[in-house]
Structure 1
Amino acid sequence: MSQYLDSKTPLSPHITVYSWSLHIVVSVCSCDTGMALGSGVSLFGLSSLRAPGNFESHFQVCTFFPLTYHISNEIRHLMRDPGRGLKIPQLYQSGVAIFVLTVLSSVGLAAT
């Protein structure tokens, strides 16, 4: 390990080395929404105790978009596990489909 520390080179590439494309953004968003859902449940519980007004609208705003995005993207991930849809054009198509499905399903859930 000391030879790597003495070599003055990074152990792994920095994030600025990569060019950001849609499938990277989708992956980062999936991680972010997973963390947001985990911490959001706790924050929602605390904030709904103190928030004046309509509890249902507060719940819809805090929950539906990250929940539908995370579920949709995890279904996409499960479809890729057997090796399907791993080519770049297919990754872009499924990424756009996830964003469209997320918007439509979260608006649909909020309207009910």
Structure 2
Amino acid sequence: RAFLYEVCIPMSPHITIYKWSVPMMMSITHRGTGVGLSGAISAFAVAALVLPENYPYYLDLIHSLSVGPFLIGLAKFGIAFPVSYHTYNGIRHLCWDIGKGFKIPEVYRTGYTVIGLSIVTSIALTFL
């Protein structure tokens, strides 16, 4: 019975009682992009090891699908955004590690800067 009580009732305040903020969302997104990128890289590596054909074969297979420029652009943006966001936010975290940028206005300013740079960089990479 005690186990069920501990599982059903949180021992500390749950995330739902907090007001969502930009730094909170950016922290969650940073962790999510890290996990997603690690999973994607691992899946690509495993696929490269176990699939019978070589890389040009699969690249030609993708080209033969004729999915259209909009979907290709969307896919490029979908790959570029997590990479650029995680990189820029990682640099922001490195600045925090050396003790810079902890004041609340700086946290928000650097957060919005990371979001803006990520979007601009992702759009630029999409058009390459």
Give the structure-1-normalised TM-score.
0.75
Q: Which residue number corresponds to residue 95 of structure 2? A: 79
Q: Which residue number corresponds to residue 16 of structure 1? A: 16
Cα offset for 1:80? 0.7
Indicate the percent of aligned positions where both proteins have the same amino acid.
32
Residues 51-96 of structure 1: CA distance to partner in whole angstroms, max 9, x if unpaired?
5247xx3762442111000001000000111221111111110110
Amino acid at match of 2:30: S
Cα offset for 1:35? 1.4
Are the equivalent residues in 2 in contact too, given 1:26–1:95 (CA < 8 A)? Answer: yes
| Matched residues, number | 104
Are the equivalent residues in 1 in contact too, given 2:23–2:107 (CA < 8 A)? Answer: yes
Q: Secondary structure at the match of 1:100?
A: helix
Amino acid at match of 1:69: Y
Rg comparison, structure with higher value = 2
CA distance in 1 between partners of 2:94 and 2:108 (Å): 16
Residues 29-61 of structure 1: CA distance to partner in whole angstroms, max 9, x if unpaired?
101111121223327x69xx575247xx37624
Q: Which residue number corresponds to residue 101 of structure 1? A: 117
CA distance in 2 between partners of 1:53 and 1:69 (Å): 29
Q: Which residue number corresponds to residue 54 of structure 2? A: none
CA distance in 1 between partners of 2:82 and 2:25 (Å): 15
Are the equivalent residues in 1 in contact too, given 2:84–2:122 (CA < 8 A)? Answer: yes
Could you tell me which runs of 5 or more consecutive residues in structure 1 were left unpaired when the two chains were aligned: none
Residues 13-52 of structure 1: matches in 2 within 5 Å? 13-41=13-41, 42=43, 49=58, 51=62, 52=65
Could you tell me which runs of 5 or more consecutive residues in structure 2 were left unpaired when the two chains were aligned: 49-57
Cα offset for 1:16? 0.9
Q: Secondary structure at the match of 1:80?
A: helix
Amino acid at match of 2:118: T
Cα offset for 1:9? 6.7
**Partner of residue 80 from structure 2, selected from 56, 64, 84:** 64
Give the structure-2-normalised TM-score.
0.67
